[in-house]
Structure 1
Amino acid sequence: MANHLPETMRGQFLESFKRPYTLKSIPLPTPTTAHDILIKVDAASYCHTDYVLAQGQMPGFPKSFPTIGCHEFAGTVVSHSESPSTQATEFQVGDKVGVPGRAFHACGTCFECRGSKDPVSQDDKGYSVYCAHADNNGLSRDGGFAEYAIVDARQVAPIPSGMTAVEAAPLMCAGITIYAALKRCQIQAGDRVGIMGAGGGLGHLGLQYAVKMGFKVLGVDAADAPLKLATSLKTGAIIVDARTEKAADVVQQLGTEDGGKDIGEMGLDAVIILPESQQAFDYGMTLLKTHGKCVIVSFPENGFHISARDVVFRDISIIGSLVGSNRMLREMLDFSAAYGVKAISKAFALDRLNDLVEDYHKGGGGKLVVDMSLRS
């Protein structure tokens, strides 16, 4: 297959902040280092971070213009470098792989790469998704909104048999992010977990994962379309409209169901905050039991205001969560395949990426994906 590659490819480029993408052709990239793999992109999913990047709200990113966005995509291996590493030869030409943004060309020698103690982000020594020296596809270097992309063999994962590229792509950021956040909750089957933003891209996947993990699940949202999507999944999770139901009332309802006699034992064991909203954060904190865990995934530009009373008097732990390790990425893909966890998505052709972005701003929930097999 490598002998029949085109000389050029099409890609959607950001050429400056707060501007539409520009579709143009450039020379086909070539694998140059041992870990490099060239893949033909089959599907590329749009993330909220793509919007944040395009708005200039990620200091230091991108490193230069023009740049190709997308850090959650999937494709087919088409070639290696002339002297591939052992990790690269794990993937043969024709293999289907999923690609998260982190971490392209991890240094292999920093504190993280030598072996983090965090079980969620820990990989074998020599590679870490938290490597401070690594690049990230779609952020600091070109990503998946193009027909081909160079990826690091250590960052990718094989796509399970029967899972399509359109199904796999949203799992490369939204899927692994919410899966890792659930792991960071450190709760047991039968415990209660809440997901703020339950009808969004991460949230609706989180509802499915959490239920399949055996948790009692509460999904919260505050917009019609995401609430409709969350309800339509029929996971068995309790879905709450934050506009009409007060958090304190929800706590009382859960306490009654659980037989709780004291306010400290009523509510959730953990909550995951997905929206960049102080109201969502406050609502989620109110839902927690004493000693509960609040896992923050979102990163609003001005941060969150945190009540010291919650932290001190109620012993609430506040934990940040970004992504999981490559090991956890593979675990998440296998879990998704085994339990039928899928993103509700809408597909667009590559040359309709700007239409996809317009659709994103309508706030319909779920995921929006560029399907390379589509033609306008």
Structure 2
Amino acid sequence: MTTNTPKTMQAQLLSSYNTPYTLLTVPIPQPSHPHDILIKVTAASYCHTDLVLASGQMPGLPPSFPHIGCHEFAGTVVSHFSSPSAQARSFAIGDRVGVPGRAFHACGSCFECQGEAGSRDPVARDDEGYSVHCVNAGNNGLSRDGGFAEYAVVDARQIAPVPEDVSAVEAAPLMCAGVTIYAALKRARLEVGERVGIMGAGGGLGHLGLQYAGKMGFRVLGVDAADAPLKLARSLETGARIVDARAEKATDVVQQIGAEDGKQDVGEMGLDAVIILPESQQAFDYGMTLLKTHGKCVVVSFPEKGFHISSRDIVFRDISIFGSLVGSNRMLREMLNFSAEHGIRALTKSFPLAKLNELVEEYHKGGGGKLVIDLALE
């Protein structure tokens, strides 16, 4: 460690399921592996998965209590392991980096790390010897401690440089919400001018998706079913059409799209792809109805009881359904540069570290956008 780094830090710890976080003074973690880098956390974003984990809906996670959550954060490099790897040496002291949860200490030898899966899926592809899908890896904020603290140890292979004109508070939400929705759009493999729908358009991922999809050249339909997220989605100057699912039937929207496109055949009307973000069967069904024949449904959410899928959709309408978790480290860097180039930012509300529980209360209000811990705030 550098001589000016303290030995203890403030951290928000979860001591059991369904309880508030507790702000405590704990030892600063130490780099213990050649890939390890110690960073000073500057911003940490709250994700729906943090809520899922804290409520005990992710079996086996966290592996033990007390636990420091947050798998989307940003910070500056403080120190390396005594014998750093080449990847770690590529980051200098003081460099600004973004940290996704996946994948800490990827094994380098499994099916995923050897690139067998990535060779067939460019969204998942990384350099041989590392994969965000490594089943043996840890995950900051999930299986190990994360960013709701003043310092964190990260794997040099998982992090990405933050562009100069992107602040820490802007970068943190992109480490999960940003790369997840960006990768989901990439996985849909759409052509410029094709139509994509985003279910949950006013949420953390959704409002970023509206921006990415528009800048990618797609015709975008955003759907939500709550006042505050709809207001947020409509406030963005993306050119997307925003639909209130409570007021407009999916079949009516399909007819309107068909009329716009000059289509007569029912199978030709609708969207080329839809991204499912809410953990709602109604949202899933609405999105499936919006698709034209041969359309693609990309599922990002993972409700505890899953989704009911109509066999008629996949057999008679030839709808393809596939999931998308996160993007590779290459995809993370591409997303950050795309965000910087096109001015894509999450709409955020910031809280100091000491007020993490107030942030959680705000999250439950369902206002949309992203809530972020800004460690520069007192």
TM-score (norm 2): 0.99
1:63 — aligned with what?
A: 63
Give per-residue Cα distances to partners, 1:229-269, cap 9 Å, x unaligned. Answer: 00000211000000000000000000000001100000000
Q: How does 1:289-328 map to 2 (within 5 A)?
A: 289-328=292-331
CA positional deviation for 1:3: 1.5
Q: Does structure 1 residue 119 correspond to structure 2 residue 145?
A: no
2:9 — aligned with what?
A: 9
2:337 — aligned with what?
A: 334
Q: Given the alignment, which residue of 197, 217, 220 partners 1:217? A: 220
CA positional deviation for 1:60: 1.0
Give per-residue Cα distances to partners, 1:116-159, cap 9 Å, x unaligned. Answer: 22211110100000000000000000000000000000000000
SS of structure 1 residue aligned to 2:3: helix
State the alpha-carbon separation in 2 of the partners of residues 53 and 11 from structure 1. Answer: 18
State the alpha-carbon separation in 1 of the partners of residues 147 and 141 from structure 2. Answer: 7
CA positional deviation for 1:84: 0.1
Give per-residue Cα distances to partners, 1:60-97, cap 9 Å, x unaligned. Answer: 10000001000000000000000000000010000000
TM-score (norm 1): 0.99
Q: How does 1:219-234 map to 2 (within 5 A)?
A: 219-234=222-237
State the alpha-carbon separation in 2 of the partners of residues 313 and 162 from structure 1. Answer: 49
Q: Given the alignment, which residue of 179, 182, 194 partners 2:185? A: 182
Give per-residue Cα distances to partners, 1:94-117, cap 9 Å, x unaligned. Answer: 000000000000000000000022
2:256 — aligned with what?
A: 253
Q: Does structure 1 residue 76 correspond to structure 2 residue 76?
A: yes
CA positional deviation for 1:373: 0.1
SS of structure 1 residue aligned to 2:365: coil
State the alpha-carbon separation in 1 of the partners of residues 227 and 2 from structure 2. Answer: 48
State the alpha-carbon separation in 1 of the partners of residues 304 and 250 from structure 2. Answer: 25
1:373 — aligned with what?
A: 376
State the alpha-carbon separation in 2 of the partners of residues 2 and 311 from structure 1. Answer: 57
**What is the letter of the counterpart of residue 2 of structure 1?**
T
State the alpha-carbon separation in 2 of the partners of residues 32 and 233 from structure 1. Answer: 44
State the alpha-carbon separation in 1 of the partners of residues 2 and 206 from structure 2. Answer: 39
Q: Does structure 1 residue 357 correspond to structure 2 residue 363?
A: no
Number of matched pairs = 375
**What is the letter of the counterpart of residue 321 of structure 1?**
S
Which stretch has the larger CA shift, 109-118 or 296-305? 109-118
State the alpha-carbon separation in 2 of the partners of residues 112 and 30 from structure 1. Answer: 28
RMSD: 0.6
**What is the letter of the counterpart of residue 119 of structure 1?**
P
2:104 — aligned with what?
A: 104
Q: Given the alignment, which residue of 286, 292, 296 partners 2:289? A: 286
Identity %: 75
**What is the letter of the counterpart of residue 216 of structure 1?**
R
Q: Given the alignment, which residue of 131, 135, 147 partners 1:144? A: 147
CA positional deviation for 1:6: 0.5
State the alpha-carbon separation in 1 of the partners of residues 59 and 266 from structure 2. Answer: 42
**What is the letter of the counterpart of residue 20 of structure 2?**
P
State the alpha-carbon separation in 1 of the partners of residues 2 and 344 from structure 2. Answer: 33
State the alpha-carbon separation in 2 of the partners of residues 265 and 25 from structure 1. Answer: 60
State the alpha-carbon separation in 1 of the partners of residues 281 and 338 from structure 2. Answer: 32
State the alpha-carbon separation in 2 of the partners of residues 46 and 5 from structure 1. Answer: 26
**What is the letter of the counterpart of residue 312 of structure 1?**
V
State the alpha-carbon separation in 2 of the partners of residues 372 and 78 from structure 1. Answer: 16
2:35 — aligned with what?
A: 35
State the alpha-carbon separation in 1 of the partners of residues 295 and 328 from structure 2. Answer: 25
Q: Given the alignment, which residue of 188, 191, 195 partners 2:194? A: 191
SS of structure 1 residue aligned to 2:63: coil
CA positional deviation for 1:201: 0.1
CA positional deviation for 1:32: 1.0
SS of structure 2 residue aligned to 1:87: helix
Q: Given the alignment, which residue of 260, 263, 267 partners 1:264? A: 267
SS of structure 2 residue aligned to 1:112: coil
Which stretch has the larger CA shift, 111-120 or 365-374? 111-120
**What is the letter of the counterpart of residue 201 of structure 1?**
G
State the alpha-carbon separation in 2 of the partners of residues 36 and 10 from structure 1. Answer: 21
**What is the letter of the counterpart of residue 182 of structure 1?**
L
Runs of 4+ aligned structure 1 residues displaced above 6 Å come to none
State the alpha-carbon separation in 2 of the partners of residues 177 and 39 from structure 1. Answer: 23
Segments of 5+ residues of structure 2 without an aligned counterpart are none
